[in-house]
Amino acid sequence: MFIFDISNPLTLVLMLAMTVLLIFLAQEIKKSSVAAIMLFAYLVILIMHVAQLATLPEEFRYMLTTISRCVAIDFIFILITFFSYLWVDDIEAKVKGKKSIDNSLDWFWKKV
């Protein structure tokens, strides 16, 4: 059974570096779609891990802790990319002079 193990420290560092670089790219080109694509990719990975967890055969029960850690890490990356999407969307809205998707976090962006 193939598991995309993101709880491995090297994979975790590489995914974190890729996430930070893509957030920086989205912020520089002022396109929230880059952050949205990244958020969608992490959601697909989460769905894949949950499906593997739900359909785990009895002979692979030893992988239960690894998949559970992967699901927890998926949620952390989704949280990071969701906030980065909102941040870049706010930047894009200010540059283009249009209304942002959600202005409820204005107090937070002023402190960043």
CA distance 89 to 101: 7
Give a yes or no: residue 27 inside a domain.
no
Which tokens go with 1?
């059974």
Q: Residue 107 has what pLDDT?
A: 64
Q: Comparing C-alpha atoms, which of 81, 105, 74 is closest to residue 32?
A: 81
pLDDT surpasses 70 at 27: yes
Give a yes or no: residue 73 inside a domain.
yes
Number of domains in the chain: 1
Give a yes or no: residue 17 inside a domain.
no
Give a yes or no: residue 97 inside a domain.
yes
97: containing domain? 32-111
- Tens digit of pLDDT for each residue in 59-68? 888 889 999 9
Give a yes or no: residue 100 inside a domain.
yes
Write out the H or E segment, with its range, that includes residue 9.
Answer: helix 9-29
Q: Residue 6 has what pLDDT?
A: 87
Which tokens go with 98?
């249009």
Residue 3 has φ and ψ, to the nearest 5°, of: -130, 125
- Tens digit of pLDDT for each residue in 72-109? 999 999 999 999 998 898 888 888 887 666 666 666 66
Q: Residue 112 has what pLDDT?
A: 62
